[in-house]
Structure 1
Amino acid sequence: MELRRLTSDDLTACSDLAESRSWPREEDKWRFLLTHGEGWGLFDDEGLFGTTIATRYPELTSVSMVLVAQRRERQGHGRRLVSRVLDTGVSTLFATDMGRPLYEQLGFHAVGFTDIHTGVFTAPVSNRSHVAGPADLDDLVALDAKVTGITRPFLWEWLLAKGTVRVSPDGIAGGWQVRSDRYLIGPVIADSAAAACALIADSAAGNGSVRVDVHDPEVVAFVRAHGLESQGTPTWMVRNADRLPGDRTRYHAPLLQALG
């Protein structure tokens, strides 16, 4: 058995492992996370059987992609992988009901949740937003840092280059084609639930099947009333802090749970 850093050469194996555990096969997502994060994999004679990725910001570490193959489950490998990327700083992650007991044993506690929603969005556009460009980068990074409490210019540089960022008088929303049949909306940062709903509607327009992970009751009701269905409600957890940093009342959706 070998524990080593994951590289771009492992993308297919990571996607195979995800698919074997009924996760979507999203190779572009793995590529993005491994480019900007620290991935670790466990290997045996049959190949890759366990993964985790840590995205490290100046303020905290976001832990994600914790997967163990069925042939190796319940042998302590999930604990080994997560422990490998933890340190004395603040860490955060999203936990399924199955994974939550392990994370609690490792010192994480619940601070919130997100409700995964997918489907074809049917609400009309608000016409309150416009597409951002490279000149908006500094403002996007500054607002994101104020609301989330984390500094991540790479996220907005990437979204401006590979996805779409929309700006309204009271918020911003990103989005990208995470796979051929799914457009992922987020981050959504807005001064109110109504503003978040308008940004989601504008971001979804013309993009077919979408996913957005939300928690505000008004936003949840809005997306469910316009074609999206809940696919699960992971628990947001944090370690070595009482709460997440920033002004989270304005953080309506992450781009990826993996990014915090």
Structure 2
Amino acid sequence: MPTLSLASLPIRRLTLRDLALCADLSENRGWPREEHKWAFLLTAAQGYGIDDPEGGLVAACTVTEYGTPGRPDLAAIGMVLVAERHARQGVGRRLMRHVMAELGTTPLTLHATPKGRPLYEELGFKTTGRAEMVRGHFVPDPIGTRVATRPATAEDIAAVLRLDGEVFGSDRTHVITRLPAFADHLHVAEEGGRITGYAAAWPNVDTHVVGPLVARDTGTAKALTASLAARVDRPLRTDIDARHKELLAWVKERGLTTVAVNSVMTYGITRLPGDAARRFAPVTVAAG
């Protein structure tokens, strides 16, 4: 298909009705179909796509907005995909520019693979951090932990939202309140009746992904990870902020290995808001 025709195809909003098309596009690019994650993103976030007149999608991406509805103070871009036969024709650039124009002055963030980073740099994004993706069968720590963890209850959600708002620096109510349905397990760490951290484990193809992981300190992050690992029998995967070297070393001792290192990039801000010291892993790199 000529570039001119691609440039004339309209960009539209995606909905849950497009779930199969999004999964097909992932598969086309050699990614897992990730239908569970796509369903979450198409409800908690906004999808954008370009229809292929011959069937399927030419390209797609998602945008998760945080803050006041209608006046977000941060947006995370993810799942930027272009069908193989339309690759390297400027489609991804056009889709990104459209999304950036739609968001106006809203600060942006995304996780970029080494292959995708040059495009985002061209669009004005700056690398402000790194996230290390680790995967493997978790081996329990024989030393254990003194940090108390337990499954979250409905009564914990208000406290989890307060903690998340402090750590993330923006209101993520529409994402966090979906975690009990999205995740197989949602645990909290507690001390003296006060919640000091929380984490979820959600199913994704052949792994359970640990994310988000928010904790008072590394010891609490370890305890939450171990408590979730004890509840699942598939390999774990998580995307740990590379600044948390102690946690990274610990999970590697426990059987996980690095499978990728991605750049955390921002546009319109020089650093992500909130408290990086307590922000260990995102819900998913596609949504922050």
TM range (shorter): over 0.9
Question: 1:185 maps to what in 2?
Answer: 210
Question: 1:160 maps to what in 2?
Answer: 180
1:159 and 1:175 in contact (8 A); partners too: no
Counterpart check, 1:72 vs 2:86: yes
Deviations along 1:197-238, whole A, 9 cap, x unmatched? 121111111312211111211111111111112110110011
Please tell me the root mean square deviation across aligned C-alpha atoms, in Å.
1.5
Q: Residue 139 of structure 1 aligns to a residue in which SS?
A: helix
Question: 1:42 maps to what in 2?
Answer: 50
1:2 and 1:44 in contact (8 A); partners too: no
Counterpart check, 1:24 vs 2:32: yes
Deviations along 1:100-128, whole A, 9 cap, x unmatched? 11111111101111111111111246472
- Overall identity of the aligned pairs, in %: 40
* Higher Cα Rg, which structure: 2
Q: Which of 34, 37, 61 is 2:75 aligned to? A: 61
CA distance in structure 1 between the partners assigned to 2:125 and 2:274 by the alignment: 19
**Normalised by the size of structure 1, how large is the TM-score?**
0.94
1:25 corresponds to which letter in structure 2? R
CA distance in structure 2 between the partners assigned to 1:150 and 1:207 by the alignment: 30
Q: How does 1:1-260 map to 2 (within 5 A)?
A: 1-46=9-54, 47-58=56-67, 59-86=73-100, 87-124=104-141, 126=145, 128-163=148-183, 164-168=185-189, 169=191, 170-179=196-205, 181-208=206-233, 209-214=235-240, 215=242, 216-260=244-288
Runs of at least 5 residues in structure 2 that lack an aligned partner in the other structure: 1-8, 68-72
2:36 and 2:203 in contact (8 A); partners too: no
Runs of at least 5 residues in structure 1 that lack an aligned partner in the other structure: none
CA distance in structure 2 between the partners assigned to 1:56 and 1:94 by the alignment: 15
- TM-superposed deviation, 1:70: 1.4
1:32 corresponds to which letter in structure 2? F
- TM-superposed deviation, 1:73: 0.9
CA distance in structure 2 between the partners assigned to 1:201 and 1:34 by the alignment: 30
Q: Residue 232 of structure 2 aligns to a residue in which SS?
A: coil
Q: Residue 121 of structure 1 aligns to a residue in which SS?
A: coil
CA distance in structure 1 between the partners assigned to 2:62 and 2:182 by the alignment: 22
**Normalised by the size of structure 2, how large is the TM-score?**
0.86
**121-130 or 193-202: which moved more?**
121-130
Count of aligned pairs between the two proteins: 259
1:213 and 1:254 in contact (8 A); partners too: yes
